[in-house]
Amino acid sequence: MATGQKLLSFLFLQLVLILMVSNLSNAKGLSLGYYHKTCPNAESIIWKATHRVISRAPTLAAPLLRLHFHDCFVRGCEGSVLLNSTKTNVAERAAIPNLSLRGFNVIDGIKAEVEKECPGVVSCADIVALAARDSVSMIHGPYWEVPLGRRDGRVSILNEVFAELPGPFNNITQLRQMFAVKGLNMKDLAVLSGGHTIGTSHCLGVNNRLYNFTGRGDTDPSMDPNYIVKLRQKCKPGDTTTLVEMDPGSFKTFDESYFTLVAKRRGLFQSDAALLNDPETRAYVFHQASTHGSTFAKDFAKSMVKMGQVGVLTGNQGEIRKHCAFVN
Ligand code: HEM
Ligand SMILES: *[C@@H]1O[C@H](CO)[C@@H](O)[C@H](O)[C@H]1NC(C)=O
Ligand SMILES: *[C@@H]1O[C@H](CO)[C@@H](O)[C@H](O)[C@H]1NC(C)=O
Ligand SMILES: *[C@@H]1O[C@H](CO)[C@@H](O)[C@H](O)[C@H]1NC(C)=O
Ligand SMILES: CC(=O)N[C@H]1CO[C@H](CO)[C@@H](O)[C@@H]1O
Q: Catalytic annotation on 70?
A: yes
Q: Are residues 212 and 238 in the same domain?
A: yes
Q: Are residues 141 and 257 in the same domain?
A: no
Domain count, the chain: 2
Q: Are residues 45 and 153 in the same domain?
A: yes
Q: Are residues 182 and 301 in the same domain?
A: yes
Residues with CB under 6 A from ligand 2: 84, 325
Structural domain contains residue 3: no
Residue 11 has pLDDT above 60, yes or no: no
Structural domain contains residue 183: yes
Residue 190's domain comprises 172-306
Residue 98 has pLDDT above 70, yes or no: no
Q: Are residues 158 and 223 in the same domain?
A: no
Q: Are residues 134 and 258 in the same domain?
A: no
CA of 84 to the centre of ligand 5 (A): 10
Structural domain contains residue 143: yes
| Annotated binding residue 92 | yes
Average pLDDT over residues 56-82: 96
What are 21-39's pLDDT values in tens digits? 444 445 679 999 999 999 9
**Res. 97 pLDDT band, cuts 50 70 90:** low
What are 150-200's pLDDT values in tens digits? 999 998 888 888 889 999 999 999 999 999 999 999 999 999 999 999 999
Paired with 200 in beta bridges are: 245
Can you say how many angstroms the Cα of residue 237 is from the centroid of all Cα atoms in its chain?
Answer: 30
Residue 248, judged by CB atoms within 10 A of its CB (0-12, 13-18, 19+), counts as middle
| Residue of 54, 59, 69 best suited for mutating to test ligand 1, as the one with most atoms within 8 Å of CB | 69
Helix or strand run (H / E) with residue 279: helix 279-289
Residue tagged active-site, from 70, 140, 202, 323: 70
| Annotated binding residue 74 | yes
What atom in ligand 1 is closest to the CA of residue 168?
5
Q: Are residues 242 and 154 in the same domain?
A: no
8 A C-beta contact, residue 73 and residue 177: no
Q: What is the DSSP annotation of 221-249?
A: TTS-HHHHHHHHHHS-TT--S-EEESSTT
Q: Are residues 61 and 179 in the same domain?
A: no
Average pLDDT over residues 228-237: 97
Q: What is the pLDDT of residue 17?
A: 47
Q: What is the DSSP annotation of 190-232?
A: HHHHGGGGS-EEEGGGTHHHHH-SSSSS---TTS-HHHHHHHH
Q: Are residues 301 and 211 in the same domain?
A: yes
8 A C-beta contact, residue 192 and residue 300: yes
Backbone dihedral angles phi then psi of residue 312, each to the nearest 5 degrees:
-70, 155
Residue 314 has pLDDT above 50, yes or no: yes
Q: Considering every ligand atom shown, identify the ligand nearest to the alpha carbon of residue 176 and give its number.
A: 1
CA of 5 to the centre of ligand 1 (A): 57
Structural domain contains residue 196: yes
Supply the pTM of this predicted model.
0.90
| Residue of 208, 210, 212, 214 best suited for mutating to test ligand 4, as the one with most atoms within 8 Å of CB | 212
Q: Please report, for the domain that includes residue 138, its CATH number.
A: 1.10.520.10
Query: What Rg, from alpha-carbon coordinates, does the chain have?
Result: 21
Q: Are residues 222 and 129 in the same domain?
A: no
Q: Please report, for the domain that includes residue 281, its CATH number.
A: 1.10.420.10
What atom in ligand 1 is closest to the CA of residue 179?
1
- Give the chain's mean pLDDT: 91
Q: Are residues 155 and 229 in the same domain?
A: no
8 A C-beta contact, residue 156 and residue 92: yes
What are 196-210's pLDDT values in tens digits? 999 999 999 999 999
Of 107, 135, 165, the residue that ends a domain is 165
Q: Are residues 118 and 181 in the same domain?
A: no
